[in-house]
Chains A and B, each alone.
Chain A
Amino acid sequence: MVQTIHRDPALFYWILFPISIVMILTGVLRHYATILLQTTPKKLTLPALREQRQLLHGINLRTNYSAISSASFAARKNYLVSAYKNGDFLKDPDNRGKPAGNPMTDPAAMEGMMGMMKGNMAMMIPQTLIMGWINAFFAGFVIMKLPFPLTLRFKSMLQSGVATRDLDVRWVSSLSWYFLNLFGLQSVFIFILGNDNAASQMAQQMQQMNPSGAGGMFQPGQDPDKMFKSEAENLEVVEHEYILKGVEERVLGLV
């Protein structure tokens, strides 16, 4: 049995389109707010910068070792390993061996946490506001029919405020249109804002679940001395092989 409900076509103009437009504009706003809230990284002092760069130097040497000859690799390795072990590059050599300070007291760490807080706020506030707005203005009636059937369990969620027991689950209220927008607008944002936008909260939540490794290198509370020691060990176990070894045969093989 197919249920039909005669609805005012004005429902579309006064509910469906406003919700969509508000969702899109919120996404654009969130994108630009995220850009504005981004704090430029603070200038590091010379020793701190040296500490960071020299560790990166070691990592780069370890990943790209095949590009240089064995002799130059050995020279670089010996220099870096001995310097790492001596702690020559440390920001404050007096603090060696002491436990790391509480990250709450370190101002640099606090700044990173503030940045994360700001990102979270930029997500949470619009979400709550729009949910409240839809619940306050558009609750209590069905506005559209989904093109696919759902199980009965969705009834309480998608037809909230509509107390009709026999109504098909496919008839849904405005809140479900909000959810569809929430999940499906990512492609619209790609057209408006480009591919690496910060508009969609779904994408941001995914990002937070698996944070990239690049930012986590100098996490607060980590002892740089220990990182240098482990990097020295990593460098020492590298089995060097020059990439140009046997290149003649490879080139001749190409011909």
Chain B
Amino acid sequence: MPTERELAISPIVQESVQHNTRVISNIRSLTASLFGIASGILGLESYAGFAFYLLGTFFVSVLIWAFLAKGKQGEYFQGPLSELWAGDVLGGGMSFVLTWTLFYGLVRA
């Protein structure tokens, strides 16, 4: 944790932090829906589907890390682990389950 003095010298701007979180949540919700569609069409069931989602999310996180953060995650996020790698995974999971169920129903059942 940076001290008060360090924060005063190089302050953290709330707007930028919010912007970064918004970018992450936008990407997450889009990709979660797409992963849901993919796993529904593939006909994945139970654990395979959730594993597919987690793997896909990890892949997307790697892409964010490589292209958006250019490998320097510490410069963009205060807590890279919770904000970049695990950010909004649960919220996206809801959308994933929705599209997964829809396309599973449309294609298979």
Give chain A's interface residues, CB within 8 Å of chain B: 12, 16, 20, 66, 143-149, 177, 180-181, 183-188, 190-191, 195, 241, 243, 250
Total A-B pairs, Cβ < 8 A: 74
B30 CB–A CB distance under 8 Å: yes
Residue in B25, B44, B46, B100 whose CB lies within 8 Å of A190: B25
B 67-108 to A, binary, CB cutoff 8 A, 1 in contact else 0? 000000000000000000000000110111111111011101
Please give, as numbers and ranges, the residues of chain A lying within 8 Å of B105 by CB-CB distance. 12, 16, 143-145
| Chain B nearest CB, measured from A203 CB (Å) | 9
Q: Is the CB of A149 within 8 A of B30?
A: no
CB < 8 Å neighbour of B8 from A146, A187, A243: A243
Given contacts A16-B105, A241-B5, 7 further A-B contacts (CB under 8 A): A66-B8, A145-B104, A145-B105, A145-B108, A148-B49, A184-B99, A191-B29
B32 interface hit (Cβ, 8 Å): yes
Q: Is there an interface contact between B95 and A184, defined as CB atoms closer than 8 Å?
A: yes
Distance between Cα atoms of A6 and B109 in the complex (Å): 9
* 6 A-B pairs with C-beta separation under 8 A: A20-B102, A147-B40, A147-B45, A177-B101, A184-B99, A187-B95
User: Are B101 and A144 within 8 A (Cβ)?
Assistant: yes
Q: How far is the CA of A241 from the CA of B49 in the complex (A)?
A: 56
With A148-B45, A187-B92: A180-B32 Cβ-Cβ less than 8 Å: no
Q: Which of A66, A146, A184, A191 contacts B30 (CB 8 A)?
A: A191
- Once bound together, how far apart are the Cα atoms of A140 and B40, in whole Å? 26
The reply on B50 being an interface residue by CB < 8 A is: yes
CB of B9 within 8 Å of the partner chain = yes
Q: How far is the CB of A31 from chain B (nearest CB, A)?
A: 16
Check B50 against A148 for contact (C-beta < 8 Å). Answer: yes
Which residues of chain B are near A243, meaning CB under 8 Å?
8-9
Q: In the complex the two chains form, what is the Cα distance from A147 to B26 in whole Å?
A: 25
CB-CB under 8 A for A149 and B46, given A66-B8, A144-B109, A191-B30? yes
Q: Who on chain A is nearest to B31 by CB?
A: A187
**Across the interface, do A145 and B109 meet the contact criterion of CB distance under 8 Å?**
yes
